[in-house]
Amino acid sequence: MSEAEIEAQFNTNVYGPVRVLKGVLPFMRARKSGTIVNISSSAGIDGLPTCAMYAGTKFALEGMSESLAKELAPFNIRVLVVEPGSLRTNFWSAYVEPTAGMNKDYTGTPLEHVLQAFKSNTGTQPGDAVKCAKRVLEVVDDTGMGAGKGDLFRLPLGSDCYARFQTKIENLQDNLLQAKDIAHSTSY
């Protein structure tokens, strides 16, 4: 990706939400209530080959949201991070390849395979965008399937996202256990 393409990704997925937050937070703090809904992605949990910059923006949004949730809790302001999986929308058909194209070094690698899967799976994604939107609203409004789930910080949507989330947690746990002795060896 060119620097301009990377900048556009961060402008949309990170700085866009920041600008909205800067506009609404003074009013929310004054009211001492509200819910911030940040739309992330399963890529904010588990980055895939071909999605490094997109995943980077979603990881940034999720990290920012974690900090904000802790900062804003005293004001009774909730932060909800929505993490949709693959939804049957035109998202992948609207994919624009980087202007430089795919580096030939990646031919035959997972990056090329994931890119081909994105292109060929358009229209067969497992997630229903309308159902996802309803679930988000239910969680925000404490109704339907969201009733009693007001403590949710992350809202993974779709069976594919849920599976990726589970795998990520298992991998993190394995990594943490393997690094335990190294981590503890650095204390005074």
- Which residues are identified as catalytic? 40, 54, 58
Q: What crossing angle do the helices spanning 16-31 and 52-72 adopt, rounded to 10°? A: 10
Q: Which residue has the tokens 């159902």?
A: 131
Quickly list DSSP for 119-187: HHTTT--SB-HHHHHHHHHHHHHT-GGGTT-TT-SEEEESHHHHHHHHHHHHHHHHHHHHHHHHHHTT-
Q: Return d(Cα 49, Cα 113) in angstroms, integer.
A: 9
